[in-house]
Amino acid sequence: MTCRDLWKELCSFENLFLAYKRARKHKTLKQYVIEFEKDLTSNLSELQAELEFKSYRPKPLETFIIRDPKTRKISKSDFRDRIVHHALCNIIEPIFDKIFIYDSYANRINKGTLKAIERFEYFKRKISKNNKKKCYVLKADIKQYFETVNHDKLLLIIKKRIRDKDVLWLIKIILDNHQAQALGKGMPLGNLTSQFFANVYLHELDMYIKHKLRIQYYIRYVDDFVILSKSRQQLEIYKEQLNVFLKKELDIELHPEKTNIKELSRGTTFLGLRIFPNHRLLKKSNIRKFEKKLKRVCTEYDNKEIDYDEIYEFIEGWIAHSTNANTYNLRNALLNPLEKQFSGEMSTKEYNRHLKSAPHL
């Protein structure tokens, strides 16, 4: 619990301006951002007043279906609502992040998929004595996680750290804006707050695993997690214990088809990679997803909806991920045509990097 005036900090113009800058990142050419910026000070002041007087109400979510590789329903908030989400997370995320376990890797500074994969490799080498001993991995997934998060339980967890009634009011307003299949459940995929709340909710699982079961080799990325052990039997026991805990304490359950136990030597699918003892491959669905998104961002660039910086950052991120697998030939095949297509462009990131590496005259 904190004695800070969190609501005052959240509603401050400085925080809302910072939230606006974060919400507009990579979207400066979007029409809705341009419209908001035409009277930026007035729009932020109006949002500030709505929050202070608690008259703020989010607009209905815009929902669409994507199929890459699996069918998912993505819900998109209005731009001004995304500013509110950033404003909320700016204030409360640091409070929670410092209590999260080391091996929770999603949506956290200096974490991410690459760090999680590196940690998996470290655990794999350590427990198998450099692949000399037979070991096993429990690969687990929560069934329909974002659609089944219980709002009442989530709010009880948040109240352990946040006592400010106004901040709690705003959190409830945001949660209630999503219409799930079951009343009082679910969070929209695609919202910043959903990603943050997902970590808060499963922090309870992290605590159970680390402090009650005392499991050492555990890594979680949102609702996707792995446990490594020398004993298949022990992992079977853990699997049952975890399912009981999740159902009783968090009103969620393990996905029966996506939760399994395998020998490490047979390879583990984790965070877009197929990890084997001596090599790693990208999942085919990951490659298809990259190709599909690349085609989309190139079309948006041609239509002047985004600038080259966004394409560059997307490609840079994929390269960073793909270099964790044996993908030299694949990267050449996919990226060489892009060098010709964008040979006349230079990202500001590339330009700044060039300046830093240039000799001082």
Q: How sure is the predictor about 156, in pLDDT bands with cuts at 50, 70 and 90?
A: very high
Packing angle of the helix pair 165-176, 151-159 (nearest 10 deg): 160
Q: Say if residue 49's pLDDT is above 50.
A: yes
> Which strand (E) or helix (H) includes residue 138?
strand 136-141
Instruction: Enter the pTM of the model.
Output: 0.82
> How big is the chain, counted in residues?
361
Residue 22: phi and psi, rounded to 5, are -75, -35
Q: Say if residue 105's pLDDT is above 90.
A: yes
Q: Say if residue 68's pLDDT is above 70.
A: no
Task: Report the range out of 28-32, 61-65, 332-336 with the highest average pLDDT.
Answer: 28-32
In tens, the pLDDT along 184-242 reads 999 998 899 999 999 999 999 999 999 999 999 999 999 999 999 999 999 999 999 99
Residue 269: phi and psi, rounded to 5, are -90, 120
- Whether the Cβ atoms of residue 103 and residue 219 lie closer than 8 Å to each other: yes
Quote the pLDDT of residue 277: 84
Among 5-9, 140-144, 259-263, 277-281, the least confident range: 277-281
Nearest to 113 by CA among 323, 291, 321: 321
Quote the pLDDT of residue 278: 81
Q: Say if residue 323's pLDDT is above 80.
A: no
**What integer best gives the mean pLDDT of the chain?**
88
Q: How sure is the predictor about 70, in pLDDT bands with cuts at 50, 70 and 90?
A: low
Quote the pLDDT of residue 199: 97
Distances (CA, A) of 316 to 21, 119, 300, 321, 347: 22, 22, 18, 9, 11
